[in-house]
Structure 1
Amino acid sequence: MPRYARSEREALADLMLDLGPDEPTIDDGWTTRDLAAHLVLRERRPDAAGGIVLPPLRGYTERVRRRIAAHPWPELVGQVRRPPVWSPLSNPLTDELANTMEFFIHHEDVRRARPGWQPRDLSAGLQARLWRPVGLLARAALRRFPADLLVQAPGHGELTVGRGGERVRLVGAPGELVLFLSGRQRVARVQIDGPPAVAERLRAARLGL
C-alpha cells in the first residue's frame, strides 16, 4: 500500500537539508527553519500544538516553536524526518490520514517559493488521496462565500459550496485545489470561471482551516 505521507515527509526533509535553514517559504514571513519547527511542534509537543488552531493559545505555541527552532539544523530536520511513534498524528495508524495533506502542502510551500518552480507530475494515487479532503477544506473556508461556487477536479469529482448568488467555477487537479483552499491561492494552478469581481474576491479571500 502506498505511503504518501512518508514519501512527502522524506522529500520535504531532503529538500530542507539541501536548501538550508534560512530559505523563504510560501508561508509569509516563515523560513525553512520556521516551518521545520512548526512540524516538529505539531507532532512532538501536544501540550503546545493547540495554538496552531486556537487563537488564545497562540502565544504559548509560538514561544515553544521558537525554542524548537533554535535546535541545530540537521537535528531539527532529523526530527521532521523521524516522527515519534507515540504521537497521535504520526503513529502507524494515523500517519496517512493526518499527514498526507499536511506534508504535501508544506513540501509545496518550500518548492513553490523557489524561482522557476513547476508543478510536479503527481501519481494518480496521490491525486485521488488529495481529493478526499477537498470537500472539508471547501466547506470550512467557503461556506459563507457570497456566490454559488462549483469546485471541480476533472476525473475525481465535484461539489458546490457558498451562500448562493452568482455562479463561479473553480477547476483544478486535487493537489492544486488543496493548495488553493488552504490559502495558497497565489501559487495554485487553478482555473476560475465567473464574474471577474467575484473571481478576484475568491483569489484574495483568507482561506484555510
Structure 2
Amino acid sequence: MTNISAGSMNYDGDDFVAASRAALVAALYAAGPNEPTLVEQWQTQHLAAAVYLRENPHRVTERELGNGAAARNTAIQQLGEESSSRKAFYNLVRNIADGPEEPPAAPRQSLLSRLRRSVTQRRQETESMLLHFFVHTEDIRRAQARWAPRKLTDEYADALFEQLREHARRYYANAKTGYVLIRTNGERIVAKRGTDQTFVTGPAGELVLHALGRPDHALVLIDRP
C-alpha cells in the first residue's frame, strides 16, 4: 500500500511511479485551481491538463487540433481554461489519479495487439513519468510563498537518480558547456562531454529539477568553467 503526502515521501513497496503520481495528486488537491506554478503561463489547472494529456495523447486528436507540439499546447490551454472552476479542476485531478485511459482500439485490432500496446505503455510510463511527476509536484510546491524540500527515502532518491542517468544526455544536449551532475553521495553522471565542464552538485531530486529546466529553483551548487 502506498502512503503519500505532498510534504514528504513515505511509502511501502517499490512502485515509484505510483508514489510520484500520488504525491502530485496530493499537491494538486492541496493547491486547488488558479494557483501559480513554476511553469511560465501555467496555473495549477494548466499543469494538471498537461499531465492528463501527456498520458492520454488521443484526447488531443479527439479535439481535432491535429498533431505535434503546437496542437498539444493548444489542447493544454483549452483544457486548463475548462478546468478553472473547483468542480472541473478536481474532476481532472481525479482522472490523473486514476492513471492513463485505455485509448480507442484501432479497427480490426486484435486482442494480442492491444495487450502488447498496454505492456508498452506501462513500460514507457515507468521510464518517463517518474521524473515528470516529481518535477511537476515541485512546480506546484515551490511556487508557493512558503515551502521546504521534501525528505525523500533513499530508495526513492535512487530511483530518481537512475532515471536521470538514463535521460541526462538528452536534457543537456543543447548546453554550451559539458555538464557533470554530482550527487551528494559522490555518484556522478556525465550528462555532456566537453573541454569546459560545468559541475552541478546536490541531492538527486534537486539534480532532476536542474536537468528538467528549473535551474533557478534547484537547491544545487554550480561550479562553472
Q: TM-score range by the shorter chain?
A: 0.7 to 0.9
Q: What count of residue pairs does the alignment treat as equivalent? A: 189
Alignment partner of 2:92 out of 76, 99, 115: 76
Look up the SS of the partner of 2:102 in the other structure.
coil
Structure 1: distance between partners of 2:141 and 2:120: 23
Does residue 35 of the first structure (1) align with residue 47 of the second (2)? yes
CA contact (8 A) 2:200 2:223 kept: yes
Match for residue 121 of structure 1? 151
Q: 1:98 to 1:151 in 2, by over 3 A?
A: closer
1:204 aligned partner: none
Unaligned 5+ segments in structure 1 are 50-55, 196-209
**TM-score where L is the length of structure 1:** 0.78
Structure 1 residue 89: Cα displacement: 9.4
| Shift in Å, 1:8 | 2.0
Q: Equivalents in 1 of 2:158, 2:20: separation in Å? A: 15
1:167 Cα offset (Å): 3.6
AA at the equivalent of 2:91: E
Alignment partner of 1:57 out of 35, 51, 68: 68
Superimposed CA distance per residue, residues 125-173 of structure 1 (whole angstroms, 9 cap, x where no aligned partner): 1110011132344312334534343221133621324452334321111
Q: Would the aligned equivalents of 1:146 and 1:163 in 2 still touch at CA under 8 Å?
A: no
**Local SS of the residue matching 1:132:** helix
Gap change, CA 1:44 and 1:110, over 3 Å in 2: same
Deviation at 1:124, TM superposition (A): 0.4
Candidates 100, 107, 118, aligned match of 2:137: 107
Q: Which of 155, 164, 167 matches 1:134?
A: 164
For 1:170-207, what per-residue CA distance to the aligned partner results, in whole angstroms no more than 9, with x for missing partners? 11111111100100011101111234xxxxxxxxxxxx
Change (3 A) 1:145 1:73: closer
Q: What secondary structure sits across from 2:68 in the alignment?
A: helix
What amino acid maps onto 1:173 in structure 2?
A: P
Distance 1:175 1:98, change over 3 A: same
Task: Output the CA distance in 1 between the equivalents of 2:120 and 2:132.
Answer: 11
Amino acid paired to 2:98:
R
Q: Which residue does 2:5 correspond to in 1?
A: none
Greater Rg, structure 1 or structure 2?
A: 2
* Residue 89 to residue 109, structure 1, CA distance change in 2 (3 Å): farther
Q: 1:39 to 1:124 in 2, by over 3 A?
A: same
Kept after mapping to 1: 8 A contact 2:178/2:191: yes
Task: Tell me, yes or no, if structure 1 residue 86 matches structure 2 residue 102.
Answer: yes
- Verify the 8 A CA contact 1:131 1:156 in the aligned structure 2: no
How many angstroms apart in 2 are the aligned matches of 1:11 and 1:45? 22
- With over 3 angstroms needed to count, the CA separation of the structure-2 counterparts of 1:145 and 1:17, relative to structure 1, is closer
Structure 2 match to 1:52: none
Q: Indicate the RMSD between aligned Cα atoms, in angstroms.
A: 2.6
- In 1, Cα distance between equivalents of 2:119 and 2:23: 19
